[in-house]
Amino acid sequence: MTEAPRLLVFDSGFGGLSVVAEIRKALPAARLTYLADTAVFPYGDLAEADLVARVAALMAEAMPRFAPDAVVIACNTASTLVLPDLRARFTLPIVGTVPAVKPAAETSVSRMVSVLATPGTVKRDYTRGLVAAHGQDCRFTLVGSKRLAPLVEAEFAGQAVADADLLAEIAPCFVEEGADRTDTVVLACTHYPLVLARLRNLAPWPVTWIDPAPAIARQVARVTSTVAREPAGEGAEAGRGGGEGADVFYATGRLPPEGLTERYGFLRQLAFA
Ligand code: DGL
């Protein structure tokens, strides 16, 4: 039983903070290291081979350095592609973030569901497979937005993002067919829940927005409850590779604005070098 698991949370940018918020609630004692690949952000349109190679290379560096008990890939664009490769390379638990198709199909009354994601996530075989396996009789509209994650990132960096720009990205999710219309939208990019209040206000009509972060946090709690931790003392941390960086937000490129990561419990922000 791990009382205070060390977790490495990874995303292309700040989006994984939506997952961090839920992990903090589910596991208040957990020590979190965050790694944002802001040097390459956005991942949304990256070639699949480049994305697999990039995440594998970063993880190969980060794993021995941070010595986590588990890793959270808080990025749908990466998770829908790289999880098999990462699980083949590393033996520790790796929790991914993939579109919440199943809960959406269980929720929808109109049987019209939209998945709002990056272009990469909507074109993945993995995502299509989720819809085929768990979409039940719902009609799915897969919306791949190129701009929404960068807009969220801009807003968090202190730039003003116009309502019209956000609305243009979510509008294709709202589909009317005869008397039926979309009643459920899956937030299949971890950036989107960070602006959920604005999306709700801009929506042409009310829908149920599905944010998978609470379910991911529960899964993290499950996997870390069975992780065997080396006993404290006698160089236990050193034995795990040093485990630097608890509660530090690292970024490969641009760092977040002062104050943002503090709100999510990170004491410092540093360049990942
Ligand atoms: N936060 C990432 C996700 O969940 C995507 C952002 C990006 O395009 O890099 O898909």
User: Cis before residue 42, ω within 30 degrees of 0?
Assistant: yes
Catalytic residue among 46, 101, 148, 189: 189
More confident residue, 246 or 91: 91
Q: Measured between alpha carbons, how far is 78 from 37 in angstroms, rounded to an integer?
A: 11
User: Residue 217: CB within 6 Å of ligand 1?
Assistant: no
Secondary structure of residue 73 in the 3-state scheme: strand
Sorted by where each begins, the domain ranges of the chain are 6-97+214-271, 101-211
What does the pLDDT read at residue 273?
86
Fold agreement between 6-97+214-271 and 101-211? yes
Tokens, residue 246:
């608890």
Q: Is 173 designated active site?
A: no
Q: Is 201 annotated as ligand-binding?
A: no
Indicate whether 228 pLDDT > 70. Answer: no
pLDDT tens by residue, 60-86: 999 999 999 999 999 999 999 999 999
Assess whether the C-beta atom of 191 lies below 6 angstroms from ligand 1: yes
Which CATH number applies to 6-97+214-271? Answer: 3.40.50.1860
Does residue 148's CB lie within 6 angstroms of at least one atom of ligand 1?
no
191 marked ligand binding residue: yes
Sign of the C-alpha dihedral computed for residues 149, 166, 161 and 206 taken in this order: negative
Among 3.40.30.10, 3.40.50.720, 3.40.50.1860, 3.40.50.300, name the CATH number for the domain at 101-211. 3.40.50.1860
Distance of CA 269 to the CA centre of its chain: 19
pLDDT band at 243 (very low <50, low <70, confident <90, very high): low
Q: What is the pTM of this model?
A: 0.93
